[in-house]
A and B are shown apart, each in its own frame.
Chain A
Amino acid sequence: MVDQTDHSFSVDVASRGDIDSVQGLKAEARNLSFFYGAVQALKSVNMPVYDSRVTALIGPSGCGKSTFLRCFNRMHDLTDHTRYDGEILFHPDNVNILRKSVDPIEVRMRIGMVFQKPNPFPKSIFENVAYGLRVRGEKNRSELADRVETALRDASLWEEVSGRLDSMAFNLSGGQQQRLCIARALATGPELLLFDEPTSALDPNATANIEDLIHRLREKVTILIVTHNMQQAARVSDYTAFMYLGELIEFSDTNTVFTNPNSKQTEDYITGRYG
């Protein structure tokens, strides 16, 4: 564990010439490696996550982008025989959230996640959105109702479900279920929201809705999104990272990555030559 370097992040950021260093940092991966048993899935990844911005992770299947994303809320702790190496500094408190002494539950309380397939609980719409608050011990009914409504409005779902908050979440369409999951993650006011290919199970219409939403949400929350769809990355993100075989090949503002990539590999990928 490299605790001594915890306070040196600002120097590091300023020294990056290629990216807008005015924007604050929300998190930063430093020499992050990850192992499933003996298999190394991430190889010493260094990458910043800028505050109130959308950062997209792209790359071919199996390149480690989802693995990387799941390091941020310590999801890998749920699987046996996994190991992190290196650090993810989380700001403003500048703590390495991968440290053994940091409780993963505390991390997940501050960093929300939306999954590939909509995974609402088999409960009512209201209870789905309220669950994160209940986990935090919120019992006040009017407070719960207020925050559920706000979250549903933020996820642009309120208009569609306001009359049937007590009906089962499973009765919603796939796209609505995914927005419900976004509302569920938003309700607790996370500082960073992780999206793991959130539209891969949705039709084009629902996908457009979600993309719209993600683009607007960056006012409220920092977003890190994994996508296999390069157009999506281009549409919703401010920064884009290209990963390949567990390594971060390129990180830059989205415009640069798509119009003038540094690396030959990135160019080959975004022009569709492999992946």
Chain B
Amino acid sequence: MSNDPQAIRRLVVLGRRYDRLFAIVGMMAMMVGILTLAVLLAGLIHDGAERLNWDFFQNFPSRRAERAGILSAIVGSSLVMLITAVTAIPLGVAAGVYLEEYARRNWITEIIEINVTNLAGVPSIVYGLLALGLFVYALDFGQSILSAGLTLALMILPVIIVSTREAIRAIPGAIREGAYALGSTRWQLVRDHILPYSTGGILTGVIIGLARAIGETAPIITIGALTFIAFLPPSPVTGDFPFLSFEWLESPFTVMPIQMFNWLSRPQAPFQVNAAAAGIVLVAMTLLMNGVAIWLRVRFRNRIKW
């Protein structure tokens, strides 16, 4: 090692060269991802934009491509998501809170933890098979909105559990000690501190899970969703007492990705346009959900800084 200024300069110039080289390689790697996505989206919009009008959202599927729409698919997707959210959120959050705050650390919880994480990686069609046996046949819910919603709930449960636990783990131990030192019970700690402070993280996980669920096709096909539905499920609100009806839970249904798949599998070109248009709507729905997740995260993070 010498302190020769010339040598140092040469070393720096060489180092800088690698620096710049990696910047270029990294930029190109990033571009592969971004550009592919952009081209895909542009292609989708180019193919499908002409069909995106009010009628497309208002019409049922039809044998004539120009008159076909996604009404039943959008309603089906929304109702299935409703069931998924209503069942997966309380189960996932409760399980996450239990594992973090109540469960003692021992080999049983270790095994449960490893399994929960692994469940997140199980292929979705496997959930479809499980649901076919459990919900459709064993519990006799049939090929219904209820079965589909529960199937997807099962699928995103690990995602919600994991994100709940991560959000809870971000709460400093000092806050827990502070609450306990005032005489809180565990439940008071969870209700007044753990849940409010981890809401942002939990909601982010919930929305990411739902965004994944809304695009799922395989498990829904497995439990036997129909591909051609020209009616809406019975309305949940009725004219007679008790004004609420749950018949829609048992209704046959279709969802966005299945509608799209159905159109894609037809040979006629006009149906390909429909598929692309449905694709745009589906992408827009997931982007919107992810946008909401980001917004929630920023909002809650700004409110609570540890």
Which A residues contact B (CB, under 8 angstroms)? Answer: 73, 75, 78, 80, 105-106, 108-109, 112-113, 115, 117, 119-122, 131-132, 134-136, 170, 181, 184-185, 188
Contact = CB atoms under 8 A, between A and B. Distances in A.
B24 to A, nearest CB: 43
Contacts of A134: 192
Nearest to B183: A109
Nearest to A114: B181
A112 B174 CA distance: 15
**Residue of B105, B179, B182 contacting most chain A CB atoms (<10 Å):** B182
Given A132-B182, A188-B183, A119 B177 contact: yes
A132 B183 contact: yes
B14 interface: no
10 contacts: A80-B104, A108-B181, A119-B172, A119-B174, A119-B177, A121-B193, A122-B175, A134-B192, A184-B178, A185-B182
B64 interface: no
A115 B179 CA distance: 12
Given A119-B175, A121-B193, A135-B182, 18 more contacts: A75-B177, A78-B177, A78-B180, A105-B183, A105-B184, A108-B180, A108-B182, A108-B183, A112-B181, A112-B182, A117-B174, A119-B172, A119-B178, A120-B178, A121-B179, A131-B192, A170-B304, A185-B181
A262 B179 CA distance: 40
Given A115-B174, A122-B197, A75 B181 contact: yes
Contact of B182 (A75, A122, A184): A184
B178 A73 contact: no
Contacts of A136: 183
Given A80-B104, A115-B174, A119-B174, A170 B182 contact: no
Nearest to A78: B180
The main secondary structure of chain B at its interface with chain A is: helix
A128 B67 CA distance: 61
A121 B176 CA distance: 9
B303 A122 contact: yes
Contacts of B177: 75, 78, 113, 115, 119
Contacts of B175: 119, 121-122
Interface of B: 104-105, 172, 174-185, 188, 192-193, 197, 303-305
A135 B197 CA distance: 18
Contacts of B184: 105, 135
Contacts of B179: 121, 131
A105 B184 CA distance: 7
A37 B46 CA distance: 67
Contact of A105 (B104, B176, B185, B304): B185
A115 B178 contact: yes
A103 to B, nearest CB: 10
A132 B177 CA distance: 13
A109 B184 CA distance: 8
Contacts of A122: 175, 197, 303-304
Contacts of B304: 122, 170
A121 B195 CA distance: 13
Contacts of A131: 179, 182, 192
Q: Top 4 A-B pairs ranked by shortest CB distance?
A: A109-B183, A119-B174, A113-B181, A132-B182
A119 B172 CA distance: 9
A57 B178 CA distance: 21
B183 A170 contact: no
Contacts of A132: 182-183
A82 to B, nearest CB: 13
A203 B242 CA distance: 65
A138 to B, nearest CB: 12
A80 B184 CA distance: 19
Nearest to A181: B178
B305 A170 contact: yes
B268 to A, nearest CB: 58
A106 B185 CA distance: 10
A181 B179 CA distance: 11
A136 B176 CA distance: 17
Contacts of B181: 73, 75, 108, 112-113, 115, 185
Nearest to A132: B182
A88 B193 CA distance: 30
Contacts of A112: 181-182
A134 B185 CA distance: 12
A193 B238 CA distance: 61
Contact of A121 (B104, B105, B178, B188): B178
B124 to A, nearest CB: 37
Nearest to A168: B303
A258 B193 CA distance: 43
A78 B185 CA distance: 12
A106 B181 CA distance: 10
A269 B66 CA distance: 91
Contacts of B178: 115, 119-121, 181, 184
Nearest to A107: B183
Contacts of A106: 183
B182 A80 contact: no
Contacts of B176: 78
Nearest to A81: B105
Given A80-B105, A122-B197, A135-B188, A75 B180 contact: yes
Contacts of B188: 135
